Amino acid sequence: MVITLIVDSYADATNGTTMTSRRFAETLMKHGHTVRIAASTIDESIPEENRFELGIRKTPVLYQVSKTQGFIFAKRNKKQIKKAIEGSDVVHFLFPFKAQKYGKKVCDRLQVPSTAAFHLQPENITSTIHLNRFDSVNNFIYRKFRKFYNRFSHVHCPSEMIKGQLEQHGYTSKLHVISNGVPEFFQSKPVEKPAEWKDKYVILMVGRLSVEKRQDVIIEAIQKSKYESQIQLVLAGKGPWKSHLETLSEKLTNPVVFGTYDVNHLVNIINSADLYVHSSDAEIEAISCIEAFSCGLVPVISDSEICATKQFALDERNLFVHGDSDSLKEKIEYWIEHPEDKQKRSEEYIEYAKKFSIDHCVKELEEVFEMAISETKEKRN
């Protein structure tokens, strides 16, 4: 198939949806498909003839705020979007913004099959502007997005949680729950801890440094722990909350390590860590958590109602009460004090992770594409 992905950010691989887009594209190409990308900027991982650069939309304030989150909006470049769509077997939209809205109009006009994915939780937006606790604002965004998504017969949802949210908010498309998946290089391997972490119990979280990710709860839990002096916290990611987290962590014996890492370095860090914590209040899936437990790193996960990551908890020992640093402290101390249980749980997670391979997930997405193509052919006839 000739498959076109229309996404805002593609070249800057620092947010989850960008990484998902890149991995989908790579896997689809491995499966023999031609993949076209229409995005603000595109790197050389895509052949030149299949790159359709739309340019960066620099709306005042919005551009500056979104850039701190590792996200860039694409321009509604009508000429390039039309060129990307013409001759496609199917077009897949990963966001509900200006470039995608215009692209959907072109698909409908040219009778090109199209599907969409729901990757952006309203709480990701409202947390940035400190309005995440206002249900009325989140509900307004769900309604705003609904106008776009209800134009599709098929929508990809990365988790049952977000499928349920869309159903509650009146989304009428057929919703397909398919994990975003992880590549095979996220696997357990022997790795020596860096010298500076040799005698430390390393706790890792990977994700954007922003309000809804709640890294502050991890810092507070460590501060309260009787093992505080032995714990080394590593926060892999970047974002607008970094300075706040640095200030919050000043009282820790071991300064928090902040950093962004390429894939090979990240796999090594995961394999040298002792425990993974996913503290988010809001999360559509959290590929970073799957990456961690694919390597055998045992997770402790927020039980927030709008955090889909809790679906990965094998039992209550892998969950803590969201936003509650005392609850998280108890779970951290349990795993520190029960290394044999942790080793057994690590092995269980390695086995559990097999169903989240990106190859398997992309095959499921291909089936959705084929449904959309078949239905469009029927309408033409």
Torsion of CA 325, 329, 335, 337, to 10 degrees: 180
CA distance 178 to 156: 7
The average pLDDT across 328-352 equals: 97
Residue 198, pLDDT score: 92
Q: For 195-355, which CATH superfamily applies?
A: Glycogen Phosphorylase B; (3.40.50.2000)
pLDDT digit string, tens, across residues 104-157: 999 999 999 999 999 888 876 766 656 656 677 888 999 999 999 999 999 999
CATH of span 2-181+357-380: 3.40.50.2000
As a whole-number percent, the residues of the chain with pLDDT over 90 amount to 79
Question: In this model, does residue 17 exceed pLDDT 70?
Answer: yes
Residue 168, pLDDT score: 94
Residue 123, pLDDT score: 75
pLDDT digit string, tens, across residues 36-63: 999 999 999 999 999 999 999 888 766 6
**Residue extent(s) of CATH 3.40.50.2000 domains in the chain:** 2-181+357-380, 195-355
Mean pLDDT over the full length of the chain = 92
Residue type present at position 354: K
Q: In what order do the strands lie in the sheet with 231-236?
A: 257-259, 231-236, 201-206, 275-278, 299-302, 319-320
Collect all residues with Cβ–Cβ distance below 8 Å to 37 and sequence separation of at least 6. 4, 5, 7, 10, 21, 25, 46, 50, 51, 52, 84
Residue 120, pLDDT score: 83
pLDDT digit string, tens, across residues 185-232: 899 999 999 999 999 999 999 998 988 899 999 999 999 999 999 999
CA distance 299 to 270: 11
Residue 369, pLDDT score: 98
Residue 136, pLDDT score: 79
Residue 117, pLDDT score: 96
Residue 71, pLDDT score: 73
What is the token pair recorded at 73? Answer: 């909006």
Task: Provide the whole-model pTM.
Answer: 0.84
The one-character DSSP state at 298 is: P
The average pLDDT across 95-109 equals: 96
Residue type present at position 305: E
CA distance 302 to 213: 10
